[in-house]
Amino acid sequence: MTNEELYERITNVLKEKGSTLSQLELKIKTETGRSPNLYIAKNKKRLPKVFVYPYLKEFLNDDEMHDLTLKKMDGAGVGGKAFDLLDDILYSLEPSEEYLYKQRLKRKMQREVVR
């Protein structure tokens, strides 16, 4: 899933619920005390900040969430609170067998290319 597709999905689900991205930002800011800046991330075509990820579960299935979390972990570096939060999210997900099989094939093909 590309970053554009992510924000398109979020926007569509919010429209179905009669809500907006601004209201989601306000909800996240109220609950966490931190500003998620979703509009800025959307316009710059970036992934959302790490503390927003628990709120994304309502817009994505476990397979998509797993993929998105792995993408963010690649850019988050090793260690720290952000990495721990992403790790906890990954642990709580239950991706489908088909998705896991595709991930294994993808990694296997990447290893083959490196050799």
Residue 17 has pLDDT above 90, yes or no: yes
- Cα-based torsion angle of the residue sequence 68, 2, 98, 75 in order, rounded to the nearest 10 degrees: -30
Q: Which two tokens mark 4?
A: 């554009």
Instruction: Tell whether pTM > 0.85.
Output: no
Residue 78 has pLDDT above 70, yes or no: no
pLDDT value of position 74: 83
Residue 115 has pLDDT above 90, yes or no: no
